[in-house]
Structure 1
Amino acid sequence: MTPPITELTDRARDVFRQVVESYLESGMPVGSRTIAKMSALNLSPASIRNVMQDLEEAGLLAAPHTSAGRMPTDQGLRLFVDGMMHAMEPTAQERAAIEAQASIAGSIEEALAGTTATLSGLSACAGMVMVPKRDVVMRQFHFAPLGHDRALAVLVGSDGSIENRVVELPPGMTASALVEASNYLTARLGGQTLADARTGIEQEIQAERAALDEAARTLVSRGLALWSEDGDRRPVLIVRGQARLLDPSAAADLDRVRQLLDELEGKEEIARLLASASEGDAARIFIGSENKLFALSGSSVIAKPVRALDGRVVGVVGVIGPVRLNYARVVPMVDFTAATLTRLLA
């Protein structure tokens, strides 16, 4: 069990901080001579070595090789992040870059993608954001033929967003019936969300009040059912900046990076991880083996819920990168991005 920070002596805390901060900066194990030269601890290398040995026995430091220096364990990093880290607020330039991407005209998804890419660039990590699928106010619905038995159903939102699904055509469906069904849905959906319009349209079709022939009625019902069954409430997950994980310091650890990139392909698993960070108000930090999904690659995730003005969680934003993250800089950056997206999604 990791000891609380209060159980460490002042000397142990000072040495531990120096080791962790040096490791986070260089990514290399830190030796006692290095600590003695770079710090104002007024301790000999031998004294520092003894303290480091005690910290290793406490589970806070580890020696990757017999003759190497020490580096923090996942438990050690957790102790540092929770009890010793001094957060650095984003600079004015960093805040401006995030806000600029969030305010660019276009669909919500485009703004989210741009903001996530900016967060990735500023943090040198892969950026991630997950928000619930929104019921967009519809502007137009169109069926485009894909052959004799299929059509592409296209929904255009008032915000410029476009969604499409492939739908099977009922027997006897003609080109004029496709146009008829498109015009009918555009007239009924315009200015409403799909959820709001769906009940009324289905009731009208069932009561045979819709001015459509049988094939067009079948297609309209089938198209609406397809959207419902296809999970229009499914979260939108955007991951940007995977290439930033391939930094020069990763060249000696390509197996870990390949493992991480493979893990990033499992977006459903990532969505579940981010959803687990939606409780509470503070950013959640998953360090290395604390998180089963990225344990093999030895990666860390920082995530924070995005809340609406009424306090509801409307999404989660975060970053993923190596365990050797600049937590003091990245955590406040994720906090600020979450606040910016709160304003965007309100």
Structure 2
Amino acid sequence: MVSPPVHELSERTRSIFRHVVEDYLASGQPVGSKALAASRDINLSPASIRSVLAELELLGLLAAPHTSAGRMPTEIGLRLFVDGMMQVAEPTAQERAAIEQRLAGPGPVEQALAATSTLLSDLSAAAGVVMVPRREPRLAQMSIVPLDAQRALVVLVGEDGSVENRLLELPPGTAQSAMQQATNYITARLAGRTLAEASRVIEVEIASGRAMIDNASRDLVERGLAVWSTDAARRPVLIVRGQANLLDEAALGDIERVRSLIDDLEDKQSVAELLESAREAEATRIFIGSENRLFALSGSSVIASPYRDREGKVVGVLGVIGPTRLNYARVVPMVDFTARSLGKLIG
């Protein structure tokens, strides 16, 4: 069902609809006619309000979870509110200063990204997510370090000081000298290159017979590269913080939905793909409930914004994932400001 344009609703209908949505987003509970009648802005009897609520329900903008309960906005109603009626609350000067201070702490970029995810979680009382820039570091060294007779650790050191490692199964009888020769050979070809670039050089040398190493070392080189076969530039790196925020008092009455949402968040590849769809957006994007396939079953919302470097190039996406009753008016500008603040740091 497509919602009617806001201007087609009467002023009275718009006012009651806005009150229902705002009260629901604040409390997470259906809103009844008696509570609306008590509002100073609505000078109508409960009976008149019930008539308007019934009209909004027929339009698909409101729903009643139970016969005797109040009304709550549907996904269509939330979309109408967010697009046409919401008055955003821009961050105060104190809030902006606090956000910038939290992000500008000492440490590498990765630390700022983790801080951003935690910050978004704190601001929204939901889960904060940050997709790390898709970039593959230039490498300085690869080492094959023996652990025991059957296993070794393959360690990659980037020029930026980053360190990653993988476990490698060793062929029976592998000599430590073969590991040292393989380490020297790979490192000599890694310097200043990405792993993908170095791998192509090594593959050509081995295939053409120009690799000046013995068979045992050649086997270790191929095995060592194989454990890094996933191109780092293609791996979605997602930082998620604040899942515990999803288990609040309002969520306990719908624990299956929360469990479904937490399961969805564990599928980081799919979450990253969803955030990717916001990369080219000019402004913060809002996905409500079934508008995105991933969170359709859990009925959750996603507020996502790309963040850019100082040259204006999009390098990642950050956002908030939580129930549809998020405080959109406050969270949307917070996400937008956080994206701009992070961009200044990674420039």
- Please say which of residues 248-257 and 53-62 is displaced more in the overlay: 248-257
Alignment of 1:159-174 (within 5 A): 159-169=160-170, 173-174=174-175
1:87 is paired with a residue whose SS is coil
- CA deviation profile, 1:191-245 (whole Å, cap 9, x unmatched): 4433343444444555555553332233224323442346552111111110011
1:181 paired residue number: 182
Distance in 2, Cα, partners of 1:297 & 1:309? 37
2:113–2:132 Cα contact (<8 Å) kept = no
1:274 paired residue number: 275
1:66 paired residue number: 67
1:54 paired residue number: 55
1:41 paired residue number: 42
TM-superposed deviation, 1:9: 0.8
TM-superposed deviation, 1:18: 1.0
Please tell me whether residue 264 in structure 1 is matched to residue 265 in structure 2: yes
1:99 paired residue number: 100
Please tell me whether residue 84 in structure 1 is matched to residue 85 in structure 2: yes
2:156 is paired with a residue whose SS is strand
Alignment of 1:171-320 (within 5 A): 173-206=174-207, 210-229=211-230, 232-309=233-310, 311-320=312-321
- Please say which of residues 76-85 and 20-29 is displaced more in the overlay: 20-29
Letter in 1 for 2:305: K
TM-superposed deviation, 1:280: 2.1
Please tell me whether residue 118 in structure 1 is matched to residue 119 in structure 2: yes
2:128–2:319 Cα contact (<8 Å) kept = yes
Structure 1: tracts of 5 or more residues without a match: none
Letter in 1 for 2:296: A
2:132–2:316 Cα contact (<8 Å) kept = yes
- Please say which of residues 329-338 and 188-197 is displaced more in the overlay: 188-197
- CA deviation profile, 1:150-205 (whole Å, cap 9, x unmatched): 42211122333221123344566311221232234334423443334344444455
Distance in 1, Cα, partners of 2:329 & 2:40? 20
Please tell me whether residue 140 in structure 1 is matched to residue 141 in structure 2: yes
1:40 is paired with a residue whose SS is coil
Distance in 1, Cα, partners of 2:292 & 2:134? 26
Letter in 1 for 2:306: P
2:333 paired residue number: 332
1:262 is paired with a residue whose SS is helix
2:8 paired residue number: 7
1:166 is paired with a residue whose SS is strand
- Please say which of residues 6-15 and 105-114 is displaced more in the overlay: 105-114
2:54 is paired with a residue whose SS is helix
Distance in 2, Cα, partners of 1:41 & 1:53? 17
TM-superposed deviation, 1:259: 2.1
1:322 paired residue number: 323
- Please say which of residues 80-89 and 58-67 is displaced more in the overlay: 58-67
- Please say which of residues 276-285 and 66-75 is displaced more in the overlay: 276-285
Distance in 2, Cα, partners of 1:295 & 1:208? 54
Letter in 1 for 2:337: F
- Alpha-carbon spacing, 1:56–1:141, altered in 2? closer, same or farther (3 Å): same
Distance in 2, Cα, partners of 1:255 & 1:43? 38
2:138–2:158 Cα contact (<8 Å) kept = yes
2:236–2:269 Cα contact (<8 Å) kept = no
2:136–2:194 Cα contact (<8 Å) kept = yes
- Please say which of residues 94-103 and 329-338 is displaced more in the overlay: 94-103
Identity among equivalent positions (%) equals 63
TM-superposed deviation, 1:44: 2.3
- Alpha-carbon spacing, 1:208–1:343, altered in 2? closer, same or farther (3 Å): farther
TM-superposed deviation, 1:81: 0.3
Distance in 2, Cα, partners of 1:205 & 1:107? 36
1:154 is paired with a residue whose SS is strand
2:298 is paired with a residue whose SS is coil
Distance in 2, Cα, partners of 1:57 & 1:36? 21
- Alpha-carbon spacing, 1:104–1:202, altered in 2? closer, same or farther (3 Å): farther
- Please say which of residues 8-17 and 148-157 is displaced more in the overlay: 148-157
Distance in 2, Cα, partners of 1:39 & 1:60? 23
- Alpha-carbon spacing, 1:292–1:188, altered in 2? closer, same or farther (3 Å): closer
Structure 2: tracts of 5 or more residues without a match: none
1:127 paired residue number: 128
Distance in 2, Cα, partners of 1:156 & 1:340? 29
Letter in 2 for 1:95: R
- CA deviation profile, 1:45-73 (whole Å, cap 9, x unmatched): 22222211211111111112222221111
TM-superposed deviation, 1:140: 2.7
TM-superposed deviation, 1:7: 0.6
- Please say which of residues 301-310 and 96-105 is displaced more in the overlay: 96-105
1:27 paired residue number: 28
Distance in 2, Cα, partners of 1:231 & 1:191? 16
- CA deviation profile, 1:238-263 (whole Å, cap 9, x unmatched): 11110011112222222222222222
Distance in 1, Cα, partners of 2:97 & 2:225? 42
Distance in 1, Cα, partners of 2:103 & 2:184? 34
